[in-house]
Amino acid sequence: MSASQLALSGTYSMPLETNIFKVQQGDESLRNRIIESYQPFIKKVVSKVCNRFIDQTMDEFSVGLVAFNEAINQYQKGQGSKFLTFADMVIRRRIIDFIRKESRQVRNIYLNQVKPDDENGMEESYVEQQAAIDYYEEKCRIDERKEQIDGYRSLLLEYGITFDVLSKHCPKHADARENAKISAKKLVEHKELVSFLKKKRQLPIKDLLQFVSCSRKTIERNRKYIIALALIYIGGFSALKSYIEPETELVH
């Protein structure tokens, strides 16, 4: 039995997700105990994103705490992942946003400090710092994309889909791919369809047909591809949005 579980007193025998739902129903005392118990988890995630040790006195840790609390509020039944997996993703995103904001502030401060008379003497230094900031921001984007791909891979597995399977079920024709994108978008626009997908781990083909112009045969043939695209929306994998934005409104 872990220390974090013991810290939850009489509730430690319950799954963490059960306690999260209790908090969402108004148990603020339990919220505080969960946040306190999982501070080591928060530090671990934040430190990994920042690639350095983080303690409770640092701004990054405060951002992580707020993000963990945000995850408690936003976690839903049928989320497709355990709470800690979801919280990990939320914390990472908020820390990356914080780092980007800090990088922009450093850049603006530096630019404001450079006076016209200093431009020639500080040009080389500015170029070096600019390159460093650009490199760091690009690294953050790459890291975020990698994290989202890992999260997406895990979510796909819950629906029996691997990247290998997905590549084999990707429609060969561009118009078929675009129609699949449109079908996925229509699906996520209707809560009842999303609920069915999460609960049954199956595409609600019959109901989806009410909102798309594709034939049933077309949707059945591309069902795994449509599910995979819909999960990008549902999982909030913004770094993968290029895969789900229809280029044209194709209908058949």
pLDDT tens by residue, 194-232: 999 999 999 999 999 999 988 999 999 999 999 999 999
Burial letters 122-145, b for 16+ CB under 10 A, else e: eeeeeeeeeeeeeeebeebeebbe
Four-residue CA torsion sign, 214, 245, 139, 62:
negative
- Residue 193 and residue 208 in contact, taking contact as beta carbons nearer than 8 Å: yes
CA-nearest of 69, 74, 172 to 61 is 69
At 163-202, the pLDDT tens digits run: 888 888 888 888 888 889 999 999 999 999 999 999 999 9
List the domain boundaries for the chain.
3-74, 99-157, 163-243
CB atoms within 10 A of CB 200: 9
**Which one, of 67, 100, 71, lies nearest residue 86 by Cα?**
71
**Residue where the block lists tokens 């997700």:** 17
Q: Which residues contact 12 (CB under 8 A, 6 or more apart)?
A: 1, 5, 6
pLDDT band at 136 (very low <50, low <70, confident <90, very high): low
Structure confidence by residue, pLDDT tens digits, 54-64: 888 888 899 99
pTM of the model: 0.50
Helices (H), the chain: 3-6, 16-24, 28-37, 39-50, 59-74, 83-113, 119-157, 163-169, 174-188, 191-200, 205-208, 216-221, 223-234
What average pLDDT does the segment 13-33 reach?
90
